[in-house]
Amino acid sequence: MKQELSFFLNGEDVKVEVKPQWTLLHLLREVLGLKGTKEGCGYGECGACTVIVDGKAVNSCIFPVMEAEGRTVTTIEGLLSADGGLHPLQKAFVDHGAVQCGFCSPGMIMSACALLAENDNPTEDEIKDGIAGNLCRCTGYVQIVEAIKSAASGR
């Protein structure tokens, strides 16, 4: 039995019919066609599915879709500016070699985005704390931390 869900997604009102047992990730990828958010594990253990709900980074793979009701959700697709330009974080990732295979990148960037929204000048330790829930197998995190640092200081 489907139920209606209304929420704000990437700056727009969305009304959609959902099955209560769906996760937010399933809704985003399979129904709304937003494939940028990835499923890495399905258990909230890798962060590839990170999106921002009401300003907080969450694992959408274990987020019950019904709890999105009335909330403001931002996915990686929502970071582009109106004219299609990259968000400073996205640009920093590109410029600092923080992207290799790219599968962890959307989730990583969303966590970084949530971090910077709360703390616009984080120390290196605070950055690592902020992305502690995002696994990356390719980069060893070093260039990711550099990218976030540079985006924070506006360099």
Partner 1 sequence: MVRYEYYKPGTITEALDLMARFGGEAAYIAGGTDVMVLLRQKKLSPKALISLRNIKDLYLKDGLSIGACVTHREIEKDEYAKKRLSALHDAVCSLGSPQIRNVATLGGNICNAAPSADTACPLLVLDAEALISGPEGERKVAMDDFFIGPGKTALRKGEILKGFSLPVLGDTTGSAYIKHTRRNAMDLPIVGIAVRVTVNKSDLRCRDMLCGSAPASEILSRFADEELRCEDVRIAMGVVAPRPIRAKKAEGMLAGKVISADGVAAASEMAASESSPRDSVRGEAWYRREMVKVLVQRAFVKSIDRIVRPDADIYPDRLW
Partner 2 sequence: MELTAVGKRVSKKDAPSKVTGSAVFIQDIALPGMLYGKILYSSYPHARIKSINTAKAEKLSGVKAVLTGATIPPFKFGVYKDNPPLKTGKVCSLRDEVAAVCATDPETAEEALSLIEVEYEELPAVFDPLEAMKEGAPLIHEGHLGGKEKKPTNVLNLPWRLLAGDIEAAKKEAAYVVEGTYSTQWVTHCCMATSGCIAQVDTANNLTMHSNTQIPYLAQRDFIDALGAFGYKGKRVRVIQGAIGGGFGSKLDTYAYEYIAILLALSARRPVKIVFTREEEFLATSPRQCTVTRISHGCTKEGKLLFRDIEMILDNGAYTSWGATTPSVMMLPISSLYKVPNVKYTAKCVYTNNTYSQAMRGYGNPQATFAIESSLEELAEAAGLDPYEFRLMNANEPGETTPQKFKITTCGMKECMAEVKSRLGWSGRRHEKKGRGFGMASLVHVGGGARVYKSDGCGTIIKVDDYAKVDVFTGSSDIGQGSETVIAQIVAEVLGIPTEDINVINNDTDVCPWDVGVHASRTTFVAGNSALGAALKIKQQLLETAGQALEEDPSGLEISQGVIFARHNKEKNISLGKVLRNAHYVAGGRMLMAEHFYDPPNENFDREFKGNLSVTYAYGAHGVEVEVDRQTGRVRIVNYVAAHDVGKAINPMLLEGQISGGGVMGLGYALSEKMVYKNGRLMNANYLDYKLLTAKDIPPMQAVIVETDEKDGPFGAKGIGEPGLVPTAPAIANAIYDAVGVRIKDLPITPEKVLAALKAKEKEGGSV
Interface positions with partner 1 (CB under 8 A)? 1, 3, 19-21, 23, 42-45, 47, 50, 56-59, 62-64, 66-67, 69, 111, 114-115, 129-130, 132-134
Cα→Cα distances 109→2, 54, 93, 126, 153, Å: 32, 16, 8, 15, 16
Give the DSSP letter of residue 31.
I
When CB distances are held under 5 to 8 angstroms depending on the partner's kind, the choice from partner 2, partner 1, none that residue 19 binds is partner 1
Between the CA atoms of 41, 45, 46 and 47, what dihedral angle is there, to the nearest 10 degrees? 110
Q: For residues 29 and 73, which CB has a smaller minimum distance to partner 2 in the complex? A: 29
Number of Cβ within a 10 Å radius of residue 49 = 27
Query: Segment contacting partner 2 (CB under 8 A): 9-17, 28-36, 52-60, 66-74?
Result: 28-36
Cβ proximity to partner 2: between 6 and 81 the closer is 81
β-bridge pairing 3-9 and 56-59:
unpaired
CB of 81 to partner 1, least distance (A): 25
Give min distance, CB of 117 to partner 2, in A: 17
Is residue 142 a contact residue for partner 2 (CB under 8 A)?
A: yes
Alpha helices by DSSP H, listed for the chain, are 24-26, 88-95, 105-118, 124-130, 142-153
Measured from the Cβ of residue 110, the count of other Cβ atoms closer than 10 Å reads 27
List interacting residues with partner 2 (CB under 8 A): 29, 34-43, 45-46, 48, 75-77, 79-80, 86, 90, 93-97, 99-106, 109, 127-129, 131-145
